[in-house]
Amino acid sequence: MPLSDLQIRALKPADRPKKHSDGGGLHLLVQPTGSKLWRLAYRFGGKQKLLAFGAYPSVTLAEARAKRDEAKALLKRSIDPSEQSKLDRIALTASRATTFQAVAEELLAKAEQEGKAEATLKKKRWLLSLAEADIGARPIGEISAAEILVPLRRVEAEGNYETARRLRAVIGQVFRFAIATARAENDPTFGLRGALIAPKVTHRAALTDWPAFNGLIRAIHGYDGSPDTRDALILLALLYPRPGELRQAEWHEFDLEKRIWTIPAARTKMRRDHRKPLSGLAIDVLSRVHERNGNGRLVFPAIHTTLRPMSENTLNAALRRMGFGKEDMTSHGFRASASSLLNESNLWHADAIEAELGHAGADEVRRAYHRAAYWDERVRMAEWWSNQHAAASS
């Protein structure tokens, strides 16, 4: 006869363990100590077996019956409930051992082995640290979108909307890596795309008309500060690389005879080597810099040590000293200036300009085609741009 909660509560311990049946193999074992333990007796593979469901009242009568029914369903499929229970416990243990932080560290280690730039890795580590207290110790397969929203909202509350957006993106990268390595089934960040405040896009300041840009060139050539700072700004104007690509440049990257600067993949945004043609004027400037700094590794070392490169603050501070406010021009703005003025000239193919800027094409085949097909045009464009520079500085 099935048990009832009233009967179970009234059961008293005896000198020996006593079983009280509920039907279908489910029974309650009352121990002399007073503990009441759920057990399921069943046969599998011709053998009598026993499965524990936990203790009453932690496991209620209804829950014990539900577990019995689940076990019976497994038996109908020729699955041993005891073995399945072991597998479930192993899976749960593995899940709890696979924390978000552990998977994140694996992803960072993989990125490092793939040659990602240290600056990129450092930024990702910093972003992930913003969420570590909230989800770092949580099993990655159990983390919900609501949990991820907690650190995102905290960053957002400080007014750092762009940081919150990037944090969501890097958390999503960790989840997609977990999915690829069979440790998570979905990416909860996908549903959070519309939850965050969109950051206001602010374009880097740049001078994009010829009179203003020519005035900048004249000011740079007349700069009375550090010669290295002056020549770095001249090369930014002539070659318009990303500031970090120039500041961290090493002498072995330059082939002055062949007039080529090969920026290594580790320092380019697109993570591939980027070759830039050097005009005659650029060669002259580099030769001048080599007379000062040629004994060291870095083309533009810091003022107080040759082991570190010149800082971007040094370049921007020089622009401020020349009277160009941060709303007028930045060291990164030389790229926008060149892009605008070269396109405005209508002398050069737009794809040749994009290739010279080191931007990504539509796909790998197209990029490979650009590098080959537009090299000669980029060489001519470099000389033309250099001539405009020379005319402005004279």
d(CA 143, CA 305) in angstroms, rounded, equals 47
d(CA 204, CA 206) in angstroms, rounded, equals 6
d(CA 162, CA 222) in angstroms, rounded, equals 38
d(CA 394, CA 392) in angstroms, rounded, equals 6
Question: What totals of helices (H) and strands (E) does the chain contain, helices first?
Answer: 16, 7
Please classify residue 172 by burial: count the beta carbons closer than 10 Å to its beta carbon, then call 0-12 exposed, 13-18 middle and 19+ buried.
middle
Please classify residue 375 by burial: count the beta carbons closer than 10 Å to its beta carbon, then call 0-12 exposed, 13-18 middle and 19+ buried.
middle
Set 335, 370, 378, 389: catalytic member: 335
CA angle 79, 81, 84 (to 5 degrees): 80
Q: Active-site residue 369, yes or no?
A: yes
Using the 8-state DSSP alphabet, how is residue 298 labeled?
Answer: B
**If we measure between CA atoms, which residue out of 203, 204, 206 comes closest to residue 337?**
206
Set 49, 369, 371, 380: catalytic member: 369
Using the 8-state DSSP alphabet, how is residue 55 labeled?
Answer: E
SS3 state at 139: strand
Q: Active-site residue 269, yes or no?
A: yes
Set 332, 367, 370, 378: catalytic member: 332
The interaxial angle of helices 100-113 and 161-180, nearest 10 deg, is 90
Set 27, 242, 274, 378: catalytic member: 242
d(CA 147, CA 120) in angstroms, rounded, equals 26
Contact 40, 81 (CB under 8 A): yes
Set 116, 292, 359, 380: catalytic member: 359
Set 269, 272, 275, 292: catalytic member: 269
What radius of gyration, in Å, describes the C-alpha atoms of the chain? Answer: 34
Which residue, chain included where needed, has tokens 């120039």? Answer: 246
Q: Active-site residue 200, yes or no?
A: no
Residue partners of 344: CB distance under 8 A and separation at least 6: none
Catalytic positions are 242, 269, 332, 335, 359, 369
